[in-house]
């Protein structure tokens, strides 16, 4: 076997400093391969090119994990959440919002009012325990969002906050943003463009982006003990040593770069198993996954994004679901099914966070909405696109420390449409700024708001839109 020299060095705990191999020897051992390359430019930063950003990423982020759930097509969230007027009172009627007249059943969920008939809220409750939901708080933002029939570019949802989140310090230990469902995406970056997002059509895309060679992968040339030794060696490198290696073109530099090693975290996590949701019993239980489920299974991919966001392996997780342009003649069954599915997604994220004892911030966004037939029935069909819309933010803390000073930003009028004169009524950048302000407030980083969301909300405005707090 041609791996003897590498194995000898790694097995000798007292002499890890002698890990010096030529390019030829590295090729022979399998650490290097001619085809080895980082799948996403800039996605995996090796320790050898360490910048201030990478140095920050080597430490577990203290910021709350952030996941976006996009409902593409224009979900009728106001047919689930009970919107209120400027004074916080019920509207005279909801017969255009799919809930009929007032007097329908209302249930508190995460500190907010949902119609008992809401399929979204039923989906959430079907997978998240009461204990979990009791530790979460939801706030709705009432805003005009252009519908897809005659949409105005100025009102399109520019709510992709990946860029400012990274600038605020939400940096993944292993990868930057990871996305499922880009083909249905209708979000656009706001304030700052993010680093390259890794699109997941399969969990294998994530493993490939980490660039595990045959030496470092699970079941590869190195056993667990040898990987720990290599991990220790990497972890003990000083900045001077890193700078010296970075100025040379020797075998170790090439080995680490082409193996995709950014820090000891990857190897300590056990290779690809450290990011594989199928190998975690809690994830399998919450997402109802079989251990041998295919890597391209949609639920496994979703679980992988949430799992890695909660563990701090990725900077920002985004999941986009299609099929929410669901107004059509006939019955409301299809729309109710889609709302229930969205609820299940939200509920599973919160339940996983609770069982993993991790905090979580969710943004649920949609690019439009629907209006129902004018009807006194709470089952009236969604008849056409509608510009008045809602966006949700949800904050969860496993210790139950999140409080809310209100569950609605902006409001609806007696016409059952959004008042577009409010701060978030017709400005997508203000909507994004309000969401960002709430997130920064939970992370004790409000001092960064002006630089992250310039030319938006003033100090007095920020106080009006921040509804989520840490007790």
Of 461, 460, 459, nearest to 427 (Cα)?
Answer: 461
Rounded CA separation 387/313 (Å): 37
Confidence tier at 297 by pLDDT (50, 70, 90)? very high
For 274-288, the pLDDT digits (tens) are 688 998 999 999 999
Confidence tier at 192 by pLDDT (50, 70, 90)? confident
For 449-458, the pLDDT digits (tens) are 999 999 999 9
For 204-225, the pLDDT digits (tens) are 877 766 644 444 555 555 566 6
User: For the chain, what is the mean pLDDT?
Assistant: 78
Task: Report the DSSP pairing between strands 360-366 and 100-101.
Answer: unpaired
Q: Is 402 helix (H, G, I), strand (E, B) or coil?
A: strand
Query: Which residues 6+ apart lie within 8 Å of 463 measured at CB?
Result: none
Q: In sequence order, what E strands does 192-345 have? A: 198-199, 317-321
pTM: 0.78
For 309-327, the pLDDT digits (tens) are 999 888 899 999 988 988 8
């Amino acid at each position: 076997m041609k791996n003897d020299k590498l194995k000898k060095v790694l097995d000798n705990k007292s002499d890890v400093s002698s890990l010096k191999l030529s390019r030829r020897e590295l090729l022979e051992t399998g650490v290097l391969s001619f085809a080895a390359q980082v799948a996403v430019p800039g996605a995996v930063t090796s320790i050898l090119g360490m910048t201030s950003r990478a140095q920050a990423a080597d430490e577990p982020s203290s910021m709350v994990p952030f996941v976006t759930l996009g409902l593409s097509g224009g979900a009728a969230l106001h047919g689930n959440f009970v919107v209120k007027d400027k004074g916080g009172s019920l509207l005279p009627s909801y017969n255009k919002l799919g809930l009929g007249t007032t007097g329908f059943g209302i249930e508190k969920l995460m500190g907010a009012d949902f119609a008992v008939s809401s399929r979204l809220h039923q989906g959430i409750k079907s997978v998240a325990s009461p204990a979990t939901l009791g530790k979460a708080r939801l706030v709705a933002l009432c805003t005009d969002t252009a519908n897809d029939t005659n949409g105005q570019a100025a009102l399109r949802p520019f709510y992709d906050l990946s860029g400012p989140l990274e600038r605020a310090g939400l940096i993944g230990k292993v990868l930057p943003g990871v996305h499922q469902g880009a083909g249905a995406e209708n979000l656009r970056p706001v304030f700052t463009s993010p680093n390259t997002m890794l699109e997941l059509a399969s969990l294998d895309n994530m493993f490939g982006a980490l660039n595990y060679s045959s030496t470092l992968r699970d079941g590869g040339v190195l056993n667990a003990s040898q990987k720990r030794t290599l991990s220790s060696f990497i972890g003990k490198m000083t900045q001077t040593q890193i700078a010296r290696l970075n100025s040379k073109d020797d075998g170790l530099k090439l080995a680490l770069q082409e193996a995709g090693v950014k820090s000891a975290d990857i190897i300590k996590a056990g290779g690809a198993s450290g990011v594989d949701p199928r190998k975690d019993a809690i994830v399998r239980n919450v997402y109802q996954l079989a251990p041998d489920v295919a890597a391209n299974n949609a639920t496994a991919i979703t679980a992988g994004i949430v799992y890695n966001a909660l563990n701090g392996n990725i900077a920002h997780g985004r999941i986009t679901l299609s099929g929410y342009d669901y107004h059509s003649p006939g019955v409301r069954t299809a729309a109710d099914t889609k709302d229930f599915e969205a609820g299940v997604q939200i509920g599973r994220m919160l339940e996983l966070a609770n069982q993993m004892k991790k905090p979580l911030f969710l943004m649920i966004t949609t690019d439009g909405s629907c209006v129902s037939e004018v009807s006194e029935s709470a089952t009236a069909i969604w008849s056409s696109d509608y510009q008045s819309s809602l966006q949700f933010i949800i904050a969860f803390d496993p210790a139950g420390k999140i409080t809310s000073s209100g569950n609605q930003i902006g409001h609806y009028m007696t016409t059952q449409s959004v008042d577009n004169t409010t701060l978030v009524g017709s400005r997508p950048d203000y909507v994004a700024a309000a969401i960002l302000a709430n997130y920064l407030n939970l992370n004790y980083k409000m001092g960064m708001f002006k630089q992250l969301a310039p030319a938006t909300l003033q100090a007095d405005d920020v106080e009006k839109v921040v509804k989520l707090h840490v007790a």
